[in-house]
Structure 1
């Protein structure tokens, strides 16, 4: 196997890769915005439409149903029509959903709009990391794919900022409508990007692929990539969903789906979707103050993701996961204890909850947040990469849907303390999964990673 780390990094090459990564990252901003905006908007949507608890959960969670469908369909589409074309379709659907949501005159229309947004999330979350991974050199691939997660955290922070600024006017329609601006920008900028050369080679369009490679690297670098891609394509893999369960790919599937499911069941999106409600449970009675506390958590999320971008290709994936998930575990158990025994702390319960959630989100942001999508984009063989990432995204969406749909009901049935203990137990299971299942992929060529995951499931 030729070491693609030897590809020369001209200034032209670096500029091109960063441009692609940043534009693809706009899909992450859209994802994050549509995830985050519901936290503030839900307070006022509930008032406008007099929603029950169950209907609130559906308004939040229906986006995840759309995301699962989008992931399932998007993976096949990305393998069939290309990465760039699939991203364009995702951007167009984002735009339609962002315009329909603020125009909603009843809960049913709003639910339909959010389902469309979920479909777009499924398309882009499957395709954007794959697109970047197929263009990025091994020694900086983790950082460049991690930009998607960084953009996602920025989207959440923008959503929380918009929610805070508009909360005094109860302007939930404008909160949703703002999302149309980055959606339009995403579509326009994508038109200037090329298709993935790896995908073009898989479609027997070698001339087009080589032309794209030569547009951002020299002939020697292009030849190195061509040799690696041809080696990968010479490994016969059936392009069917059932092939994901074949002995050659089963290990990759276990790593990708298992880790993305654990990413969700450790409770991250209860904070993203229901942050103001959690702070209200902790004693912050003002809606605006609860939204502001959620904004602070989102800002910490953005800043901590930078840690991952700086370190993931230097110290590796697994050391960051060990540190981050351990911190998540400790903060969840402390939060649970603060709900169980509020008098145990000299600070007010709201302050304790804020600190715990800030520690939790910091640890998540430099570990599980970006590394899940880095791993998912790395472990599958080229011929099945779109479907493999789709399967992982589907697992993520299904578990996210389950957590978000049951959170308020679980709080009512089991209480605040027990609910967060449950998420803490899942963090412990994640540490075991990282220790025994997840491989270290730092600095390795994509083709070598997918060829060594077979032993995981054997």
Structure 2
């Protein structure tokens, strides 16, 4: 059965949830790329040094770390829907404040607050989708968030190019408010998730929501299972995540989050114009449209990932993507070693290296982060687990954003991408050892995987689920 058929069979409420999440993804992606274009003109207006350029870029990422730290708590306390409404308002408000900044300190504060909003969103959105989507399309809808993020990145580069002739960096930053208003119009009409309602003792609301999301399921049986799980659950805090049986899950999600960003994808997104300049490209068309072209290819890759994640499984998709990143880094190191004077074939190979690097990321890491963020913990820990994973991700992002330009100047392109290559290899090894295959599993079933020492319970009865590593005590 194709994913398109499954999506056509998905109730309207489930699709609206996915649409709201996707629109937030557009805003997130737009903000990542529009700063790459806007920075060219902000640097000229405020006469920024290299360190100041890194600071302007890093301010939003630092805010994201703070947002991710509180995102899980807010999601549990206020509800998934309330957080989504607040995100839409925050995106619009702080995008406009960024556009109105008349000096660097004001711009930094606006970017920090925008980052805070983004940080909350990267925790809440996967949880909202994971708890609202039918199991058979949950992976696809979570990957759709990454599709939307890539679309937002493309739009950000194209908007920067369209406005480059006038140097209108304020419009580049402020346009993010438009999709935020669209998100608000969608989300304000949606209910919260059935699982959150059950956590708050609102059984009638949970029944109504679950009936709308999965009308063909045995609603009372599902509610009874949720209630049983919640009744048996105790704690739900950080201490529980740091003890068995969930310490294993915590190590996995925190490690995965860190490798997703430390391998360098946002260096390419934030600083693509600088990278292409180092390869010999010049002019607004090359420096802003070439990155957009790279993201178009990445968008095609994430559509392929979308079609495979619920068919082949999470692990094959993720490992293939990381492997492509390793190959791309080898190519880029070779190009920069040979590239004393870029031009001709060498410049083309450099472009292809950046293209392969980005395609590999969006196919693997970029798509699967949202899946694992939403699937890896039971309901009482889901928001906190997603928060821990995304905080780790964003801490690595801060390091990349804060030091990439300095690395490029001091180590050169070859040294910089050699470092990223080694990190990608380490990421491949980590995923190969620790990532579970959760394709087609209910969220409560995934909980049993961790409680069973990193093995699916069926294995004890002689069954071997597709994709499971058979070595004793292996954590997948």
- TM class, shorter-length: over 0.9
Unpaired segments ≥5 residues, structure 2: 1-5, 455-473
Aligned to 2:458: none
Query: Once structures 1 and 2 are overlaid, which stretch shifts more, 337-346 or 66-75?
Result: 337-346
Is structure 2 residue 141 aligned with structure 1 residue 144? yes
TM-aligned CA distance change 1:13 to 1:295, over 3 Å: closer
Is structure 2 residue 241 aligned with structure 1 residue 262? no
Is structure 2 residue 337 aligned with structure 1 residue 340? yes
- Post-superposition CA distance 1:338-381 (Å, at most 9, x none): 00112799844332211111111111111110101201110111
Displacement of 1:220 in angstroms is 4.4
Superposed, 1:279-294 pairs within 5 Å as 279-294=276-291
Aligned to 1:169: 166
TM-aligned CA distance change 1:52 to 1:15, over 3 Å: same
Runs of 4+ in 1 over 4 A off after TM superposition: 9-13, 343-346
Q: SS state of the match for residue 272, structure 2?
A: helix
Superposed, 1:386-405 pairs within 5 Å as 386-405=383-402
Aligned to 2:459: none
Superposed, 1:396-435 pairs within 5 Å as 396-435=393-432
Displacement of 1:257 in angstroms is 1.2
Match of 2:185 among 184, 188, 199: 188
Aligned to 2:297: 300
Aligned to 1:5: none
Q: Highest relative contact order (Cα 8 Å, sep 6+), 1 or 2?
A: 1
8 A contact 1:12–1:217 mirrored in 2: no
TM-aligned CA distance change 1:409 to 1:346, over 3 Å: closer
- Post-superposition CA distance 1:361-413 (Å, at most 9, x none): 11111111010120111011100111111111111111000011010111122
Unpaired segments ≥5 residues, structure 1: 1-8
Displacement of 1:321 in angstroms is 1.6
Aligned to 2:38: 41
Q: SS state of the match for residue 366, structure 1?
A: helix
2 CA distance for matches of 1:118 and 1:164? 23
Q: SS state of the match for residue 235, structure 2?
A: coil
TM-score, normalising length: structure 2 = 0.91
Aligned to 2:468: none
Displacement of 1:208 in angstroms is 1.1
Aligned to 1:272: 269
Q: SS state of the match for residue 367, structure 1?
A: helix
Aligned to 2:467: none
2 CA distance for matches of 1:87 and 1:100? 20
1 CA distance for matches of 2:149 and 2:8? 27
TM-aligned CA distance change 1:37 to 1:344, over 3 Å: closer
Query: Once structures 1 and 2 are overlaid, which stretch shifts more, 67-76 or 11-20?
Result: 11-20
Superposed, 1:103-252 pairs within 5 Å as 103-218=100-215, 220-252=217-249
